[in-house]
């Protein structure tokens, strides 16, 4: 495939700190490339350079001639008042004007906007719906190259599933930044990690995210082995050099040159291998041997008259790692608070072990004093942190969480989201726990920190209950899953995939019903008057639109199911055909909606 975007020897610094140096890679048409890397590695800066919005300090970037590009930043901005107005304004100018409303309506439907949401002021939309709108607006341009910076930010699970389906149906070349590893696994055809640990500052792997993990592990193992070999060779070379050899022969001169080359290579390798660092996350268990830490017996809770869970009975014991599943509003956070005693149950009994030690991570970060310095946040008294009954100087403690000494006097409000998350985790680590309760602990953490968090949670000997949108972490850490449906039911499921399959079907039914409820409705009593602008053939066509739409959506659902079949996704030819069929089926649905809107407009005109 021809190259659509390339960069050569790009370098960029922030203040005096280099983000990346000598960065080079090329992207072929049709690829979906994921850019990953530690926080601060320059991913967002690189995206702006690729979009032509920012200039590198050195190097150049090139886009293939006559190729269009759309860049979607992390923060969404809208000038128009409503989603419908936003998408109407985004309809390409070359489209016939009389089709603009139908095209915008079709785009709203694809993104599951109901009529109420479509005409609601944009500033009243949730972050997730604003993100859907921003992505839909970008796709309206049908760009050859789409740059997405953290497109899953603010999206709930339904939104992420919608985005995954959308990405799978695109022919557009995509470059995206994301920390959502399940999303990367399902969407990316290539992964590029920005990290000074690699020669050239990046490591590229074709294939899925899991393939990238395998290749990266192999590369790092080889790099570590090379360092061990060089260590021995350099040690012997230094011993020889200390004896003061003189370069009086060609052989001696060559040996001195070889020694100097190996010393330089070893220094470079040590520097690169030292870059594989992440926050040192290590929760402390109390060592308690009690089997029944928390016992819930027929516990129920409602909110605003709506039952969240009814007659819930379960026991939390050491070694149990319970993950809570459910769509937004299903009651996951409420259940965490009931277990912790922060929220009263409406009915049932809860028995907690005597002097139970609970460590609770809240997603709101309300526990952080934004006006406090980082030093005070990490160590409220003095300069010594007590961790596992041993003292540690504040500078060493801060270093465990990747904070530099010069950051200690910064106010918490000046820290990034990821840095604030690490401050919270540092505070919780100082407290021995029988039970860890984590509400969205992964927000703003980079992939390296997520991997360390996973390892520690898997090794934690106490009990764990968590809510997280990070499906990768949830699947790996949990040994028990409880699914809440938002209407009172709470059931254990075998694995995340089983629940997701069920939840997707249920959500599709709900969305279809909502869209159908706001779609044009036939009115038999008013049929003659309502259809006066149509020919008799068009009136019959309008009467059959509901059936035609149902057939088109059924065809789309069949193709969408194929894209979840491992036999299809593992076969490049079958996957390409399925993606082509999906695009065709989606176009069929869009065409029906557009035609329906057109006929209705003429009916009411």
Lowest mean pLDDT among 46-50, 247-251, 390-394: 247-251
Q: What is the count of structural domains for the chain?
A: 4
Residues 338 and 405 in one domain: yes
pTM score = 0.76
In a domain, residue 435? The reply is yes
Confidence of residue 282 (pLDDT cuts 50, 70, 90): confident
Report whether pLDDT(542) > 50.
Answer: yes
Q: Which residue has the higher pLDDT, 512 or 192?
A: 192
> Hey, is 177 helix, strand or coil?
strand
The pLDDT assigned to 570 comes to: 52
Report whether pLDDT(271) > 80.
Answer: no
Residues 239 and 330 in one domain: no
From residue 16, give the alpha-carbon distance in Å to each of 49, 58, 74, 165, 388.
18, 15, 25, 42, 37
In a domain, residue 280? The reply is no
Distance between CA atoms of 375 and 407, rounded to whole angstroms?
Answer: 8
Report whether pLDDT(28) > 90.
Answer: yes
Residues 480 and 538 in one domain: no
CA 297 to chain centre: 36
Locus of tokens 């789409």: 146
In a domain, residue 97? The reply is yes
CATH number at residue 548: 1.10.287.380
Q: What are phi and psi of 150, to 5 degrees?
A: 55, 60
In a domain, residue 596? The reply is yes
Of 245-249, 296-300, 445-449, which has the strongest mean pLDDT?
296-300
CB 192 within 8 A of CB 176: no
The pLDDT assigned to 22 comes to: 93
Average of per-residue pLDDT across 157-165: 92
Residues 340 and 420 in one domain: yes
Residues 269 and 309 in one domain: no
Distance between CA atoms of 471 and 460, rounded to whole angstroms?
Answer: 19
pLDDT digits (tens, 9 = 90+) for 358-405: 999 887 766 788 889 999 999 988 889 888 778 889 999 888 888 888
Average of per-residue pLDDT across 565-589: 65
CB 47 within 8 A of CB 147: yes
CB 168 within 8 A of CB 563: yes
CATH number at residue 427: 3.40.50.300
CB 259 within 8 A of CB 302: no
In a domain, residue 562? The reply is yes
Confidence of residue 61 (pLDDT cuts 50, 70, 90): very high
Give the residue numbers spanning the domain of 600.
Answer: 519-604
Residues 6+ positions from 162 with CB-CB distance below 8 Å: 111, 112, 132
The pLDDT assigned to 511 comes to: 63
Residues 259 and 398 in one domain: no
Distance between CA atoms of 334 and 483, rounded to whole angstroms?
Answer: 14
The pLDDT assigned to 572 comes to: 56
Lowest mean pLDDT among 21-25, 247-251, 329-333, 426-430: 247-251
In a domain, residue 222? The reply is no
Residues 80 and 145 in one domain: yes
Q: What is the DSSP string of 202-266?
A: EEEEES-HHHHHHHHHHHHHHHHHHHHHHHHHHHHHHHHHHT-----SHHHHHHHHHHHHHHHHH
Domain boundary among the residues 188, 213, 238 is at: 213
The pLDDT assigned to 552 comes to: 79
Residues 6+ positions from 597 with CB-CB distance below 8 Å: 101, 102, 105, 106, 520
Report whether pLDDT(217) > 70.
Answer: yes
Report whether pLDDT(527) > 60.
Answer: no
The pLDDT assigned to 575 comes to: 56
User: Beta partners for 14?
Assistant: 17
Q: Which residue has the higher pLDDT, 176 or 243?
A: 176
Report whether pLDDT(285) > 70.
Answer: yes
Distance between CA atoms of 360 and 339, rounded to whole angstroms?
Answer: 11
The pLDDT assigned to 526 comes to: 38
In a domain, residue 55? The reply is yes
Confidence of residue 524 (pLDDT cuts 50, 70, 90): very low
Lowest mean pLDDT among 374-378, 419-423, 455-459, 585-589: 585-589
Whole-number percent of the chain with pLDDT over 70:
88
Report whether pLDDT(454) > 80.
Answer: yes
The pLDDT assigned to 529 comes to: 40
Neighbours of 123 (CB within 10 A): 8
Report whether pLDDT(519) > 60.
Answer: no
The pLDDT assigned to 390 comes to: 84
The pLDDT assigned to 439 comes to: 92
Strand order across the beta sheet in which 145-149 lies = 69-72, 145-149, 173-177, 32-36, 190-194, 202-206
The pLDDT assigned to 530 comes to: 43
The pLDDT assigned to 514 comes to: 58
Confidence of residue 174 (pLDDT cuts 50, 70, 90): very high
pLDDT digits (tens, 9 = 90+) for 294-310: 999 999 999 888 899 99
Residues 526 and 474 in one domain: no
Residues 490 and 533 in one domain: no
Average of per-residue pLDDT across 140-150: 93
Locus of tokens 């990953």: 36
Confidence of residue 579 (pLDDT cuts 50, 70, 90): low
In a domain, residue 504? The reply is no
Distance between CA atoms of 384 and 430, rounded to whole angstroms?
Answer: 12
Confidence of residue 478 (pLDDT cuts 50, 70, 90): very high
Q: Which residue has the higher pLDDT, 112 or 285?
A: 112
Average of per-residue pLDDT across 172-201: 94
Distance between CA atoms of 228 and 223, rounded to whole angstroms?
Answer: 9
Report whether pLDDT(474) > 90.
Answer: yes
Report whether pLDDT(269) > 80.
Answer: no
Distance between CA atoms of 137 and 154, rounded to whole angstroms?
Answer: 17
pLDDT digits (tens, 9 = 90+) for 548-558: 776 777 777 67
Secondary structure, 3-state, 157-169: HHHHHHHHHHHHH
Residues 209 and 356 in one domain: no
- What is the enclosing helix (H) or strand (E) of 277? none
Residues 460 and 531 in one domain: no
What is the chain's mean pLDDT, rounded? 85
Lowest mean pLDDT among 101-115, 338-352, 528-542: 528-542
Residues 130 and 251 in one domain: no
Report whether pLDDT(19) > 80.
Answer: yes
pLDDT digits (tens, 9 = 90+) for 306-324: 899 999 999 999 999 999 9
The alpha-helical segments, DSSP class H, found in 313-393 are 332-340, 374-378
Average of per-residue pLDDT across 330-337: 93
Lowest mean pLDDT among 85-89, 107-111, 337-341: 107-111
Q: Which residue has the higher pLDDT, 421 or 164?
A: 164
Q: Which residue has the higher pLDDT, 101 or 556?
A: 101
The pLDDT assigned to 312 comes to: 96
Pairing of strands 145-149, 32-36: unpaired
Distance between CA atoms of 172 and 474, rounded to whole angstroms?
Answer: 31
User: Beta partners for 7?
Assistant: 25, 61
């Amino acid at each position: 495939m021809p190259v659509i975007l390339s960069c050569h020897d790009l370098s960029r610094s922030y203040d005096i700190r280099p983000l990346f140096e000598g960065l080079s890679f090329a992207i072929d048409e049709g690829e979906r490339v994921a850019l990953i890397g530690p926080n601060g590695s320059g991913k967002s800066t690189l995206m702006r350079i690729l979009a032509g919005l920012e200039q590198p300090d050195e190097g150049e970037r090139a886009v293939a001639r006559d190729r269009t590009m759309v860049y979607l930043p992390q923060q969404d901005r809208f000038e128009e008042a409503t989603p419908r107005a936003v998408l109407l304004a985004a309809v390409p100018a070359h489209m016939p004007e009389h089709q603009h409303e139908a095209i915008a309506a079709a785009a709203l439907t694809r993104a599951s906007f109901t009529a109420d949401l479509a005409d609601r002021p944009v500033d009243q939309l949730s972050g997730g719906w604003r993100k859907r709108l921003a992505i839909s607006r970008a796709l309206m341009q049908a760009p050859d190259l789409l740059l997405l910076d953290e497109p899953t930010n603010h999206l709930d699970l339904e939104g992420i599933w919608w985005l995954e389906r959308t990405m799978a149906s695109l022919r557009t070349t995509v470059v995206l930044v994301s920390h959502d590893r399940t999303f990367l696994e399902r969407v990316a055809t290539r992964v590029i990690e920005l990290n000074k640990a690699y020669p050239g500052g990046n490591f590229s792997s074709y294939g899925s995210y899991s393939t990238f993990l395998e290749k990266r592990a192999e590369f790092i193992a080889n790099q570590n082995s090379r360092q061990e070999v060089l260590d021995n060779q350099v040690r012997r070379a230094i011993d020889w050099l200390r004896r003061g050899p003189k370069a009086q022969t060609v052989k001696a001169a060559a040996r001195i040159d070889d020694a100097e080359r190996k010393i330089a290579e070893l220094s470079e390798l040590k520097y690169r291998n030292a870059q594989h660092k992440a926050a040192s996350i290590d929760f402390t268990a109390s060592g308690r041997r009690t089997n029944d830490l928390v016992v819930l017996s027929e516990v129920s809770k409602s909110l605003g008259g709506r039952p969240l869970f009814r007659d819930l009975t379960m026991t939390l014991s050491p070694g149990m790692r319970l993950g809570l599943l459910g769509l937004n509003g299903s009651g996951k956070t409420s259940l965490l608070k009931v277990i912790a005693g922060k929220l009263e149950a409406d009915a049932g009994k809860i028995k907690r072990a005597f002097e139970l030690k609970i460590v609770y991570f809240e997603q709101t970060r309300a526990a952080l004093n934004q006006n406090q310095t980082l030093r005070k946040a990490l160590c409220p008294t003095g300069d010594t942190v007590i961790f596992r009954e041993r003292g540690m100087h504040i500078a060493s403690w801060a270093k465990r969480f990747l904070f530099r000494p010069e950051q200690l006097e910064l106010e918490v409000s000046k820290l990034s989201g990821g840095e604030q998350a690490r401050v919270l985790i540092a505070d919780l680590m100082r407290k021995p726990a029988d039970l860890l309760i984590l509400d969205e602990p992964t927000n703003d953490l980079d992939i390296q920190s997520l991997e360390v968090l996973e390892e520690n949670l898997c090794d934690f000997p106490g009990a764990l209950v968590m809510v997280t949108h990070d499906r990768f972490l949830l699947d790996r850490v949990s040994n028990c899953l409880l699914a809440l449906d938002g209407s009172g039911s709470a059931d254990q499921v075998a694995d995340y995939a089983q629940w997701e399959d069920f939840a997707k079907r249920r959500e599709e039914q709900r969305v279809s019903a909502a869209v159908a409820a706001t779609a044009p409705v036939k009115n038999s009593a008013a049929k003659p008057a309502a259809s006066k602008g149509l020919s008799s053939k068009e009136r019959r066509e309008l009467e059959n639109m509901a059936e035609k739409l149902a057939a088109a959506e059924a065809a789309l659902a069949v193709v969408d199911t194929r894209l979840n079949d491992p036999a299809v996704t593992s076969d490049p030819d079958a996957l390409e055909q399925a993606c082509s069929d999906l695009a065709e089926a989606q176009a069929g649905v869009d065409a029906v909606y557009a035609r329906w809107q057109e006929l209705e407009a003429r009916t009411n005109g």
